[in-house]
Structure 1
Amino acid sequence: MNMRKSFIRLHLPALLLALTIGAATAVPQLSNIRAMGDAFAGVYPINNDDELYYMTRARDALDGHVFLTNPYLFEHKDGSPMQFWLPDYLEAHATLWFFSDHARGYQFFDFLFPAILALLTYGIAYKLTNSTSLALLTALVLHLGIFFEDFNRAPSPQFTFLFFLLFWYAVVSYLKSPRRYFLAIAALALGAQFNFYPYHWTYTLVALGIFLVAAKFVYRSFALKPYAYMLAGGGILGIPYFFSLVRSMQNPFYKESLMRLGLIHTHTPSGMVIVAAATGTLILWGILFSAKMFQRDILNIFAASIAAAGIIAVNQHVLTGKNLEFSSHYLMAALFGAVLLAAYLAGIVYRSLAAQKKFWGTFFLIAAGTVGIPFSLWRVPQVVAKQSVPTPTEWYVQTYAPLFHWLQTHTPKESVVYADQQLSRYIPAYTHNNVFYTREANLFFLSDSEVKERFVISTFFQKSFNREFVLANERALWGVHYIDERGHERQVQKIKTLLHRSTALPPATPPESEITDVVRLRALVEQEGFLAAAERYRLEYIVWDRNREPTWHLDGESYLTPVADIGSFTVYTFK
């Protein structure tokens, strides 16, 4: 009993910090809703651009489409999934255990999961440093200083990253106390990573590979068998993912869909921030080791491995020639690895100073806090204030609520609705309907030709359709492929500048031939007419927002019949 009380007393500050981080993530959104007063009609504020996309995936899972092959387009509801689907499915159904709708449940998850993530980060840092102060500071830096705005999005990274951290907590716990249940937890967490998020399990395998090779090289007696069992267990749990991956790779539109997701072909190193963070902490590791401030042991090999993995994971395309947004998708895992290594090294310095004189150890902790706490907190008030005040868009989308209610109660499930670009992003998230097209629809398996045709038809009533309009809607047509190429070219320029070999590179805008093809397709569709062009796809309803799209002028279209007027919205069916 005394040990339990001592444990609670020792780690109570960590629990309070975790609850504070959870509240800091969730409360601003509640304040935003409260600021709207009676105007809030159930369309929740969006603080992260992809949040609406994940809410749509959740709605599709609740509508019975387990594999989320395309939450937007009726014709593509069956088939193989482009991306992971299990975390969306689990979270969406979990919300209905306690809440009336998934959007409200996700608000609760904005408190719950950031708090759990902070506790896991604290736990790993405490295992590495044996210092509650340094572990608290590590959690503070990572969850408030660096990634405060990232963990308010479910399920990725809010839910998926939990299993990434759980894996490393289990491994470091096993290193300090080799009990089999830690390996079992690690195997479960690894299996979840396989099924939840590819960038997490690939980073984990790289880090684990570095660790096992280095540990075996340094300690010939190091036992690999326990880790082999753990890998086997995780691999067995990951079998469904690999079957799904093989099936997806057979999709006829696999390659062109990956290009829209950001695949670029290059052997040039990337991820300068990740490489700099990992290299900096590894150099510091080498300096402290050379100064004999610590001896080689399994723990410092482990700490170095999770940081070093960032350099390899983000640059695997140097060998493969295929880069799929590695710099952005590996950033979180890599910076966690670098900061955890920095925390481990800070623990070494602290213990060394404290061994000489307690005052110096205390002084070091105060100095670390003097730097780390302001770094962690300086942006928090700005972010909280920004998220607590409704934006003009958040005010306006409340007018969508009566329309959503009408669609939900008066249209058959899986009906297809044609609407303006903004409204088309919301309809699948809040109703059981699909849409004719929205830019997020091209994140799934689709041919490039269908993407272009749907886009052109979906903007048929747009009066000015020219080169500038096409470029302004680049993501709706080509995804992020050319955007990522531009980013990569800028990084190449930076590298060449460092090497004093800078050369001006042309911007990687979509090729003029591609732009011309889209403009030409628009002319052909105009000549054909909306009705004839749209008949190639399923379409039951058109919603006209007279406020946002006053130039549509659908009242005179002979093939349409108005069936409802809801505020500024008119709903039409086809005669």
Structure 2
Amino acid sequence: MQKRYQSNGQAGIKHKQQESVNTFLLPKTSNGVKLFLQRHLYALILAVVAGAVCIAPSFLATAALGSGYYGIEYGPLNDEDIYRARIHEVLDGHPMVTSPYFYEYKDSPVVIVPINEWLYAAPAFIFGLAGIMVASKFFLPAALFLLVYFLVRKLLGAGDDALSVSTALAAAFFVTLGSAFVDYRSMITLLLVGGTPGPHMWTRPVNPIVGAVQLFGFLLLLSQVWQRTWRYAYVAAGALLAATIGYFFTLGISLAILGALGLFALLRKEFAVAREMIFILLISIVLDSWYWYRMFASFGTSEGSALAMRNGLFFTHAPVLNKALLAATLIVFCFFLYSYLWKKNRGHVRSWIFIAGLILGSWIVLNQQVITGREIWYQHFVQYTVPLAGISVIVAAYLAFRTYAPRALYIGMITLSLVCLAFGFWSVRSFTAELQWFAYNQKLGGVMSWLNVNAPKGCVVLVAYNDEWLERQIPAYTSCNVYNSVVTTSGVPEYRLAHNFLLRMRLNGVRTSDAHAYLVTHERGIRNYFFSDWGQLFGQGEEPWILDRIALLEKEYSLFLGKTLEQNIKTYRVDYMISDGPLAPSILNALPDLEVATTTEPFYIYYFRKDLE
């Protein structure tokens, strides 16, 4: 039996033996492994089931296409291709991923540290990116399932009774497969009108799933610090907290929960715990110091502030009231009053405080802007606050009713698990709604295959017609960059955006006399290129800034047409042009060194002969 470690006796904290850690999470001997498997066999099996549910649509969609599948992966969630492009940028030798779409801006300031992308890229160097992208849809949700299970088991105590196990499994199922239930409007529509649930958000690559695994891994370590069961948990927690800079929303909520628990420790005069909470913060700051220095130096400039706003920063003091979190707060509070005041149950105090920290931390991240005046698209925090709210309610229900209504609680937890699992199996059919779109995307496979075989690494492809989707897929599936893209959150200067927009107008054959009408009609395109914050990006109507931009672009377009098309295009590097048919004679005449390289139905791929010599 290993020695206990001391805490100076403050606040009467009981320090548990490190042996509990070995048998619960870190088995070191063959007997320990056997005991671990015996204790958590159901969780391990059901984690595989949860992972299988998440990965199933990818396999079924691909199988449904049969011979019609040409390598464009099933990715129904928003921005899956963007994350794939960022991972591909790492594989192409640009580890900081400062410009995954453009050739010219590889040395731009680091906006998002690509730690999470590296988690995909590292094994992809060995196994290939395609396999890793698909496998991640199984392994990461399964890992999330287990982390939630172990966290809840930790909060419930060391018991192996059926009620504890079923409660932890219910929490794990809710987080991995059932958190969509809080969107009650969509659930009512599905039940009354019919339809198919959408794909699980945890199947989107990189974020939020990697952030969720980091968050619950951090919370598990934080619970070790809080309950004093592992001497060096704060070191591991600090290192993991440092890794969350890869996704701001994971970092934000982790810091908020750390701060909430640190505050509770101080109020309870548990100075040893509070000290280790501070150590966690200091370790993460030291490990990330290079990034914080560069970020604050950058954001202190006008260019850095503009870049932050294009990445979702708002200036506001408006509070946020989240109904799901409010409901969870009230339910947990009622359960606590029932247990603590009515039933006079004084047990599991530290677990009650821990879930209070989860709830308080969630409120902090949603409302810190009331004090700071700065907010980064708080809607993204909901993907974490909802699971945390669900866990808090489930744990609180166990703590309140485990003694007084164990049978009802057990039935409730089993029912919740079965409902979440049934919903997960139902959502597997989500691929049927995306099958037509998935089949349509396979036509891009021929283009990607040809570029991968024939194009030099780092080449630049200009898509000669309006096809933002193709522009996004080229960096995601090849080592080529694109000449034009509306994915411009990585520090692309405004003059380049204006150049690309004007070139698009010229390739579309817009005459000077038609410029104003074209610009008014393409207001959405103007927003996509020139937004300064996400309010402008997702806005509608002829706002003053839109009208000013239209007037400026109309004036600049007249000057742009004063140069030849060849001069316009070759302002920046270009190696290939792709069109959805043969280029118009007027374009071919204006570009005498452009020749057809190949055709792949329905695309024509051209190359600039002189540029490749």
TM-score bracket for this pair, using the shorter chain length:
0.7 to 0.9
2:274 counterpart of 1:245: no
The residue type paired with residue 538 of structure 1 is R
Matched residue, 2:189? none
**Match among 225, 229, 243 for residue 275 of structure 2:** 225
Q: Give 1:103-122 correspondences, 5 Å limit.
A: 103-122=130-149
**Match among 353, 364, 370 for residue 312 of structure 1:** 364
The CA deviation string for residues 124-145 of structure 1, in whole angstroms up to 9 with x for no partner, is 1111234111111111111101
Structure 1 residues 235 and 263: alpha-carbon distance in aligned structure 2, compared to 1, 3 A threshold:
closer
Q: Give 1:439-450 correspondences, 5 Å limit.
A: 439-440=486-487, 442-450=488-496
Q: What is the distance in 2 between the residues matched to 1:509 and 1:364?
A: 58
Matched residue, 2:263? 213
**Match among 604, 608, 611 for residue 570 of structure 1:** 604
Q: Is the 2:85–2:475 Cα contact (8 Å) retained in structure 1?
A: yes
The residue type paired with residue 492 of structure 2 is L
Q: What is the distance in 1 between the residues matched to 2:370 and 2:433?
A: 44
| Percent identical residues | 23
The residue type paired with residue 430 of structure 1 is Y
**Match among 405, 410, 417 for residue 449 of structure 2:** 405
Q: What is the distance in 2 between the residues matched to 1:174 and 1:379?
A: 35
SS of the aligned residue for 2:85 comes to helix
The CA deviation string for residues 351-377 of structure 1, in whole angstroms up to 9 with x for no partner, is 231xxxxxx311222134435643x24
Q: Is the 2:208–2:383 Cα contact (8 Å) retained in structure 1?
A: no
Q: What is the distance in 1 between the residues matched to 2:95 and 2:530?
A: 27
Structure 1 residues 521 and 383: alpha-carbon distance in aligned structure 2, compared to 1, 3 A threshold:
farther
Measure how far apart 1:236 and its partner are: 2.5
Matched residue, 2:81? 52
The residue type paired with residue 572 of structure 1 is Y
SS of the aligned residue for 1:44 comes to coil
Specify every segment of 5 or more residues in structure 2 that has no aligned partner in the other structure, as ranges. 1-29, 158-163, 181-198, 511-517
Structure 1 residues 463 and 128: alpha-carbon distance in aligned structure 2, compared to 1, 3 A threshold:
farther
Q: What is the distance in 2 between the residues matched to 1:450 and 1:278?
A: 47
2:104 counterpart of 1:79: no
Matched residue, 1:500? none
The residue type paired with residue 454 of structure 1 is N
Select between 197-206 and 267-276 the one with higher mean Cα deviation.
Answer: 267-276
The residue type paired with residue 263 of structure 2 is V
Q: What is the distance in 1 between the residues matched to 2:586 and 2:45?
A: 57
The CA deviation string for residues 96-148 of structure 1, in whole angstroms up to 9 with x for no partner, is 22x2x312211111111110111001111111234111111111111101266
Measure how far apart 1:557 and its partner are: 4.2
Structure 1 residues 400 and 3: alpha-carbon distance in aligned structure 2, compared to 1, 3 A threshold:
closer
Q: Is the 2:227–2:350 Cα contact (8 Å) retained in structure 1?
A: no
Q: Is the 2:527–2:537 Cα contact (8 Å) retained in structure 1?
A: no
Q: What is the distance in 1 between the residues matched to 2:132 and 2:591?
A: 43
Select between 381-390 and 150-159 the one with higher mean Cα deviation.
Answer: 381-390
Structure 1 residues 15 and 522: alpha-carbon distance in aligned structure 2, compared to 1, 3 A threshold:
farther
SS of the aligned residue for 1:67 comes to coil
Q: Give 1:361-376 correspondences, 5 Å limit.
A: 361-370=406-415, 373-374=418-419, 376=420
Q: What is the distance in 1 between the residues matched to 2:537 and 2:320?
A: 12
2:567 counterpart of 1:540: no
Structure 1 residues 318 and 518: alpha-carbon distance in aligned structure 2, compared to 1, 3 A threshold:
farther
The residue type paired with residue 455 of structure 2 is T
Q: What is the distance in 2 between the residues matched to 1:183 and 1:523?
A: 62
Measure how far apart 1:531 and its partner are: 2.6
SS of the aligned residue for 2:202 comes to coil
Q: Give 1:308-347 correspondences, 5 Å limit.
A: 308-326=360-378, 328-347=379-398
Q: Give 1:282-293 correspondences, 5 Å limit.
A: 282-284=332-334, 286-288=336-338, 289-292=340-343
The residue type paired with residue 443 of structure 1 is T
The CA deviation string for residues 174-224 of structure 1, in whole angstroms up to 9 with x for no partner, is 433522133332222112223x22222222122111112122213456543
2:484 counterpart of 1:437: yes
Q: What is the distance in 1 between the residues matched to 2:558 and 2:228?
A: 70
Q: Give 1:251-266 correspondences, 5 Å limit.
A: 253-266=303-316
Measure how far apart 1:395 and its partner are: 1.9
* Number of aligned residues: 543
Matched residue, 2:190? none
Q: What is the distance in 2 between the residues matched to 1:213 and 1:507?
A: 48
Q: Is the 1:122–1:136 Cα contact (8 Å) retained in structure 2?
A: yes
Q: Is the 1:436–1:458 Cα contact (8 Å) retained in structure 2?
A: no
The CA deviation string for residues 377-406 of structure 1, in whole angstroms up to 9 with x for no partner, is 464345321225653342233222232232
Matched residue, 1:142? 175
SS of the aligned residue for 1:267 comes to coil
Select between 22-31 and 336-345 the one with higher mean Cα deviation.
Answer: 336-345
Q: Is the 1:35–1:389 Cα contact (8 Å) retained in structure 2?
A: no
The residue type paired with residue 525 of structure 1 is F
Q: What is the distance in 2 between the residues matched to 1:285 and 1:528?
A: 73
The residue type paired with residue 253 of structure 2 is Y
Select between 425-434 and 554-563 the one with higher mean Cα deviation.
Answer: 554-563
Matched residue, 1:66? 95
The residue type paired with residue 429 of structure 1 is A
**Match among 286, 294, 301 for residue 353 of structure 2:** 301
Q: What is the distance in 2 between the residues matched to 1:278 and 1:448?
A: 44
Matched residue, 2:153? 126
Q: Give 1:160-559 correspondences, 5 Å limit.
A: 160-194=211-245, 196-219=246-269, 223-249=273-299, 253-270=303-320, 272-273=322-323, 275-277=325-327, 279-284=329-334, 286-288=336-338, 289-292=340-343, 294-295=345-346, 297-326=349-378, 328-353=379-404, 360-370=405-415, 373-374=418-419, 376-377=420-421, 379-387=423-431, 391-419=435-463, 420-440=467-487, 442-462=488-508, 465-471=518-524, 474-478=527-531, 481-482=534-535, 511-526=546-561, 528-546=563-581, 554-559=587-592
Q: Is the 1:216–1:222 Cα contact (8 Å) retained in structure 2?
A: no
Structure 1 residues 520 and 324: alpha-carbon distance in aligned structure 2, compared to 1, 3 A threshold:
farther
Structure 1 residues 446 and 404: alpha-carbon distance in aligned structure 2, compared to 1, 3 A threshold:
same
Q: Is the 1:453–1:521 Cα contact (8 Å) retained in structure 2?
A: no
Q: What is the distance in 2 between the residues matched to 1:552 and 1:252?
A: 45
Q: Is the 1:74–1:416 Cα contact (8 Å) retained in structure 2?
A: yes
Q: Is the 1:212–1:224 Cα contact (8 Å) retained in structure 2?
A: yes
Q: What is the distance in 1 between the residues matched to 2:453 and 2:91?
A: 17
Q: What is the distance in 2 between the residues matched to 1:43 and 1:219?
A: 57
Measured on the aligned residues, the alpha-carbon RMSD in Å equals: 2.9
The CA deviation string for residues 147-184 of structure 1, in whole angstroms up to 9 with x for no partner, is 66211122222223212111111121343352213333
**Match among 15, 19, 26 for residue 55 of structure 2:** 26
Q: What is the distance in 2 between the residues matched to 1:380 and 1:521?
A: 53
Q: What is the distance in 1 between the residues matched to 2:545 and 2:155?
A: 48
| TM score, norm. by length of structure 1 | 0.86
Q: Is the 1:417–1:435 Cα contact (8 Å) retained in structure 2?
A: yes
Measure how far apart 1:74 and its partner are: 0.9
Measure how far apart 1:251 and its partner are: 6.4
Structure 1 residues 107 and 54: alpha-carbon distance in aligned structure 2, compared to 1, 3 A threshold:
same
Structure 1 residues 146 and 559: alpha-carbon distance in aligned structure 2, compared to 1, 3 A threshold:
farther
Structure 1 residues 85 and 565: alpha-carbon distance in aligned structure 2, compared to 1, 3 A threshold:
same
Q: Is the 1:257–1:446 Cα contact (8 Å) retained in structure 2?
A: no
Structure 1 residues 511 and 247: alpha-carbon distance in aligned structure 2, compared to 1, 3 A threshold:
same
**Match among 585, 594, 600 for residue 561 of structure 1:** 594
SS of the aligned residue for 2:577 comes to strand
The residue type paired with residue 211 of structure 2 is T
| TM score, norm. by length of structure 2 | 0.81
Measure how far apart 1:77 and its partner are: 0.9
Matched residue, 2:187? none
Q: What is the distance in 2 between the residues matched to 1:264 and 1:292?
A: 46
The residue type paired with residue 92 of structure 2 is D
Matched residue, 2:161? none
